[in-house]
Amino acid sequence: MSVGVVAVTGAAGGIGRAVVALFRERGARVVAVDVDGRGLDDLAGDDVATVAGDVSAEETNEAFTETALSRFGRLDAVVLNAGIGGAGPLESPGAVERFDRIWAVNVRGVALGVRAALPALRASGGGSVVVTSSISGLGGDPGTWAYNAAKAAVVNLVRGLALDHAAENVRINAIAPGGVSVGLNAAAAHPVLGPAILERIPQHRWSEAREQAEAIWFLSSPAASYITGVTLPVDGGLSANNGILL
Ligand code: NAD
């Protein structure tokens, strides 16, 4: 079971690095994409090409597709994982601008990524897109309204695009990570919030980034050949919990 060539956005970050490492271990060749070009330096190699750029810009998405074709001759899978949070309170100065930026990266960036990749995925006879949504897209969290909105938007973006491209054998899915021990999980290090959230997670621990990468691998691979349009929570049971734990 393999994935030939995969493009991964947000590849310099916590989850993205784990995705690059796992796919590489399993024989995939990778195009690693991030706005933080220097963060990609240690990933580059014979089986990893790098693209520095902002996913909210069309050129970046076109560049990763072109790089996959020119370096590795094809594109089989795309992992649209780049994301940001941090709008702050709705009434705080600059909140609307920060909302626009969150939307541009987390939602527009995903639409542009799928759009750029589709011709190459079709040319491979079909392929897979996996988007990193969040448990914050399945419910609300205090203080993260803009992130909640953007991550919920991609859950339904994935459904709509999955329908439009199912007959072309292009599968489009998402994962919804719960709190991960690295990356965009400020709560993990918070002295009060951290333990309070851990208490609510049925498995009572944060996720390793590799556990997210495994779910992305599964959805990307032929093992998931009849799965499209879904968002898979990878959250230690958090989204299954009505708030009562024994
Ligand atoms: P991270 O901050 O370590 O990684 C995000 C990466 O995306 C960074 O390398 C950053 O440079 C890159 N990036 C940001 N804006 C970009 C842009 N405009 N263009 C290209 N690259 C850009 O965080 P992470 O936790 O690894 O986040 C990966 C994804 O997982 C995000 O979509 C995030 O929302 C989601 N997520 C994370 C958690 C968690 O607990 N860490 C939980 C749920 C969902």
The response to whether residue 179 sits with its C-beta less than 6 Å from ligand 1 reads: yes
Q: Is the pLDDT confidence value at 232 over 80?
A: yes
Strand extents, DSSP E, the chain: 5-9, 29-34, 48-52, 77-80, 127-132, 170-177, 231-234
Report the C-alpha gap between 91 and 125 in whole angstroms. Answer: 49
Q: What is the mean pLDDT of residues 175-197?
A: 86
Residue 139, number of CB atoms within 10 A of its CB: 12
Residue-wise DSSP of 166-222: GGGTEEEEEEEE--BSSSS-GGGG-TTHHHHHHHHSTT-SPBPHHHHHHHHHHHHSG
- pLDDT value, residue 190: 82
Q: What is the mean pLDDT of residues 160-183?
A: 96
Q: Is the pLDDT confidence value at 87 over 90?
A: no
Percentage of residues in the chain having pLDDT higher than 90:
86
Q: What is the mean pLDDT of residues 107-123?
A: 98
- pLDDT value, residue 243: 76
Catalytic residue among 64, 147, 206, 217: 147
Residue 34, number of CB atoms within 10 A of its CB: 26
Q: Which atom of ligand 1 is nearest to the CA of 54?
A: 19
- pLDDT value, residue 89: 95
Q: Which residue has the higher pLDDT, 87 or 186?
A: 87
Report the C-alpha gap between 72 and 190 in whole angstroms. Answer: 43
Residue 226 a catalytic site member: no
3-state secondary structure of 242: coil
Q: Which residue has the higher pLDDT, 242 or 66?
A: 66
Closest residue (by CA) to atom 19 of ligand 1?
Answer: 54
Report the C-alpha gap between 21 and 37 in whole angstroms. Answer: 17
Probe target for ligand 1 pocket from 8, 9, 15, with the most ligand atoms within 8 Å of CB: 15
- pLDDT value, residue 125: 96
Count of CA atoms in the C-beta half-sphere (13 A) of 204: 3
Q: Is the pLDDT confidence value at 245 over 80?
A: no
pLDDT classification of 1: cutoffs 50, 70, 90: low
* Mean of the per-residue pLDDT values of the chain: 95
Q: What is the mean pLDDT of residues 154-172?
A: 98
Level-2 CATH architecture, domain 5-234: 3-Layer(aba) Sandwich (3.40)
**Tens digit of pLDDT for each residue in 21-46?**
999 999 999 999 999 999 999 999 99
Probe target for ligand 1 pocket from 34, 54, 238, with the most ligand atoms within 8 Å of CB: 34
Q: Is the pLDDT confidence value at 211 over 80?
A: yes
pLDDT classification of 147: cutoffs 50, 70, 90: very high
